[in-house]
Amino acid sequence: MSAEPAPTRALVVFSGKADLGWLRLLRPGFRHCFVLLELGGVWVCVNPLAHRTSVELWSLDPATDLAAWLCAQEGLSVVETVVRHPPRRASPIGIFSCVEAVKRVLGLQDRWVLTPGQLYDHLTRNGKKSLTAPICGNMVQKSTPEPCPNHPPASQPGPVRP
């Protein structure tokens, strides 16, 4: 028998930044989400935006604790989880949003998880399903820096672009 491959580690990042006016109706601190996957020594950042989906490779110094770095960024909350392998059936039909994109990447098929706040609650509530507790902050009341920054602030270590 072949051994099961190790699950793919994922960091789901939540932001309170609201570039679109209607996003301000969502829970403060949970108005956008994106996901980072650890694959072969690099991190793949999948950031579903309103006008496009950004996919970036982040090559980091192996000593960098990406989760801690993200937690140190003002206004971000991070939940560590793993990618699941759901049954091979169509995912529920729904509105394509940052939440839906992150759910697809993670293999989640819960049709009633619609907002970033609901996704955060789902991930932290269902910690028994190969999730860990949130590793940093909960709610942030103010606007936050741009997710998946191209260049981190000079004062802080962060992703090194290839």
Model confidence pLDDT, tens digit, residues 9-39: 999 999 888 777 777 777 788 999 999 999 9
DSSP symbol at 89: S
In this prediction, residue 136 has a pLDDT band, given cuts at 50, 70 and 90, of low
Model confidence pLDDT, tens digit, residues 63-116: 888 988 898 888 899 999 999 988 888 877 878 899 999 999 999 988 899 999
Contact 67, 136 (CB under 8 A): yes
Query: Sign (positive/negative) of CA torsion 88, 101, 25, 52?
Result: negative
Global confidence as pTM: 0.75
Instruction: Delimit the domains of the chain by residue range.
Output: 9-125
